[in-house]
Structure 1
Amino acid sequence: MVFGIRKRIHDHLVERRIRRTRLVTKYGRCNIEFGNVKYGNHFAFLLDFWTTFVEFRWRFVLFFFIASFTLSWFIFGLLWFWIARNNGDLTWQNPSKGHIPCVDNVYNLITAFLFSLETQTSIGYGGRAITPFCSGAVTLIIIQYLIGNIINCFMCGVILAKISIPKKRAKTITFSEMAVICPKKDFLCLMIRVANLRKTLMIGSQIYGKLLRTTIKPDGETIIMDQVNIEFVVDAGKDNLFFVCPLTLYHVIDNTSPFFEMAVDTLHKQEFELVVFLDGTTESTNSACQVRTSFIPQEIMWGYNFLPIISRNKEGKYRVNFSNFSKVVPVATAHCAYCFHNMKGHHLHTIDGIDNGEFEVIDNLEQPNMTKM
């Protein structure tokens, strides 16, 4: 029991360390911190206030929505109170019987605030109304009407922009939790599965990857987060994908691939992060979006392949079984890329003593000797 508790604590600490060291999370968020930014550069956010507001979290947008209207009502309420005071309309000023107010039934601060609210929201209850005998009041009601419309248009635009933001569409694109390495069409390939959960297509989709690692040059210079291009293809090519059903992405591990020098027993000892990008345009809104995910060495399974998930029913209709989307099966695979390409007879190698005819379905989250994510 004590051993089990220690193991769970160890797994939790490992998981937290992986989250901290991962540049891109599984859901596409970039884990990076900007330090020592000059104070003057912060004004750039104020100049580009539209993007700043759109990128705010919903809680701040709702706060600004409420605060902008309430504050404008209160400020104009003070101005209406000031006009009424200058005209002698207030109760404590004891206006005469024949006195003509600037605004009917505005005789204290509360009624001035209510008139400001009714004016800006066009409620028009009829109890309070402006009279044509004060030029300052006529000017103020025009100014408040214009400013109120500006606030309405701006806040409605921000809310609509946040609702239709492309990254929300990206949440309906999902990648497999794990990547696998196995033979495919006489090549040793690293494979990742991706699916579009909506029936609407992603037009002009492109897939590519970046391998992030720390590199030490021959002159001793250390490059942190060195980026290496990783080419991915599908059976029909790499550009303009027909993304109507789940696709399997292939990266051929040849002598130009950074995975060529890795092996089954050294893969999980490496320190790198494979970031995969999918760019495309949504068919329904015609807006471009990018989907990102990442894989660390502990999330790459050597000697496994994905289970098939596409079939046809009796009526001839295609069916996608998402219960097998991230499940894998062991396959005969060479224990290193060099063996696969250069050593005769080693391009097929059984993993964990499992024969070709005795495959067993294994969930990718239960891969032995692998940290759970």
Structure 2
Amino acid sequence: MHSERPGVPAVLKKESDYHIDLPLIFKKQEGQSRNFKNVSLRRNTSLHNKEYRWSEARFVSKRGRVKIYLRHIPQKSMRYVKDLGNTLVNLQWRWVILIVTLVNLTAYFTCALIFYWDSWLSGDFETDQKGQGLCMKGTNHAFAKFFMLGIETITTTGYGYWHPTENCNFFYIALGFSTLISILIDGIFISVVYVKLNRTKTFTFEQIFSRKAVVSFCNEKLCLIFRLNDRDGKHWISTAVRLYLLKQFTSAEGEIIPNFVYELKTKPHGMLFLPVEIIHEIDQHSPLWDMSAQEFMTTKIEIIAVVSGSSIQTGQSTVSQTSYLNKDIMWGYTFSPCLEFNNKLELVVNKRALNHTVPQEVPLCSAKCLNKLQNQIAARRNSMNLNLLLHGLDIVRTSRKHIDLIKVC
């Protein structure tokens, strides 16, 4: 089957509607658009818009952020307070710094109020004597000096010109309160900062993953391939690569699951010292077995790639992830080589070629249909070879008969 214009494939309705004896080969042209629908989205497009859901809705963004949000959670604030440790760890740094600042200011202000109240109860505001029988010396009844006194008490910097005396009634209570508050604040926020600095890191996809995934031949098998480039060694120890496919699934009972998760098996990839290609072979056990080029463009799918491991420099665990939608998967392309030698015979990684793809002749039918066609071709070749062999045997037998007749004559 040929299309009306050269270089543009004819859209197949169903594989079962056509009787194809030979593989349909199509070579993609450079710059050809792969999108089945030309969807232009605005920034404020509603989440309920059909076009938005079809083309842009993701579970995982290209930068690795999980885009799942919960709404109408009962007692949401109380749950955050009960799980305060995880809440502080998961907060962004700007909010942690703001909370630390507000908590310390509140502690300073509370301690200043206690000292102010103690000074008032001790009679400092009723007497005019200087230095005799005063609870707080040098304050002159100014609240700013009491606030400075609270800062000096909590931070244990020592007292200066203004300081409490033995004439205070509740000084030891204020001192014990400030000590407990300082220990509590330091213990909580030092632990939060330590956990945030040592938790599993997540890096952007530009540092690890290729922008596109391709469907091409690898060892005469139709495969889904994307490229990894961990140049900083963040995943070199105990590297694990996993692929997940999110696709609509209909159970045997007729239940439709809009986002069913399949796990895609990958071939061994080796070490990540150099850019490597992660290969998923589309075989009988793959959920992509029945999907043709047209279905790749029209069926809403999302492939999530997750790479985990530990840094070779610090030993810290690292997880990176990204996703590929229909528009991110290029059918009929393969990655170009990105390794080359320089003048000093040193192996160099060409960074510009990491995401560069070149066209490859790939059938537009599914891997299942392609397997049937390959079996048909193999059977025809075997039958042709057998006919040639039988024909050769007949020629040999005929020649032997002629030789025997010649000998008799």
2:123 pairs with 1:94:
no
Q: CA deviation at 1:195?
A: 1.3
Q: CA deviation at 1:32?
A: 1.4
- Residues 1-373 of structure 1 correspond to what in structure 2 (within 5 A)? 10-13=39-42, 17=52, 21-39=57-75, 43-90=78-125, 93-97=126-130, 99-106=132-139, 107-124=141-158, 126-134=160-168, 136-168=170-202, 173-199=207-233, 201-236=235-270, 242-336=271-365, 337-344=367-374
Of residues 268-277 and 336-345 in structure 1, the stretch that sits farther from structure 2 once superposed is 336-345
Amino acid at match of 2:372: N
**In 2, Cα distance between the equivalents of 1:15 and 1:96?**
70
**In 1, Cα distance between the equivalents of 2:371 and 2:43?**
35
Corresponding pairs, count? 331
Q: CA deviation at 1:13?
A: 4.2
Q: CA deviation at 1:76?
A: 0.7
Q: Does the 8 A contact of 1:207 with 1:233 survive in 2? A: no
**In 2, Cα distance between the equivalents of 1:301 and 1:257?**
18
**In 1, Cα distance between the equivalents of 2:231 and 2:225?**
20
Q: Deviations over 1:205-262 (max 9, x none)?
A: 11111111121224221113111111112444xxxxx222221100001122121212
Q: Does the 8 A contact of 1:308 with 1:324 survive in 2? A: yes
Cα 1:285–1:137 change in 2 (3 A) is: same
Q: Does the 8 A contact of 2:205 with 2:321 survive in 1? A: no
SS of structure 2 residue aligned to 1:65: helix
Divergent runs of 4+, >6 A: none
Cα 1:24–1:235 change in 2 (3 A) is: closer
Cα 1:171–1:148 change in 2 (3 A) is: farther
Q: Rg: which structure is higher?
A: 2
**In 1, Cα distance between the equivalents of 2:123 and 2:191?**
41
Q: Deviations over 1:74-101 (max 9, x none)?
A: 11100000000011123xx234356322
Cα 1:48–1:161 change in 2 (3 A) is: same
Return the TM-score normalized by structure 1.
0.80
Q: CA deviation at 1:27?
A: 1.2
Q: Does the 8 A contact of 1:170 with 1:289 survive in 2? A: no
Cα 1:293–1:200 change in 2 (3 A) is: closer
**In 2, Cα distance between the equivalents of 1:138 and 1:274?**
63
SS of structure 1 residue aligned to 2:66: coil
Q: Does the 8 A contact of 1:200 with 1:244 survive in 2? A: no
**In 2, Cα distance between the equivalents of 1:329 and 1:98?**
88
Q: CA deviation at 1:10?
A: 4.5
SS of structure 2 residue aligned to 1:220: coil
Q: CA deviation at 1:132?
A: 3.1
Which has the bigger relative contact order, CA under 8 A and spacing at least 6? 2
**In 1, Cα distance between the equivalents of 2:66 and 2:130?**
70
Q: What is the identity percentage for the equivalent residue pairs of Structure 1 and Structure 2?
A: 23
Q: CA deviation at 1:117?
A: 1.4
Amino acid at match of 1:343: L
Cα 1:235–1:342 change in 2 (3 A) is: farther
**In 2, Cα distance between the equivalents of 1:116 and 1:59?**
26
Cα 1:292–1:262 change in 2 (3 A) is: same
Q: Deviations over 1:108-143 (max 9, x none)?
A: 322211111122223446211222343521231232
Q: Deviations over 1:314-333 (max 9, x none)?
A: 33322111111111000122
Cα 1:346–1:297 change in 2 (3 A) is: farther
Q: CA deviation at 1:274?
A: 0.8
Amino acid at match of 1:152: D
Amino acid at match of 1:29: R
**In 2, Cα distance between the equivalents of 1:171 and 1:260?**
27
Return the TM-score normalized by structure 2.
0.74
Q: Does the 8 A contact of 2:233 with 2:311 survive in 1? A: no
Unaligned runs of 5+ in 1: 1-8, 237-241, 348-373
SS of structure 2 residue aligned to 1:167: coil
**In 2, Cα distance between the equivalents of 1:252 and 1:95?**
91
Q: CA deviation at 1:200?
A: 5.4
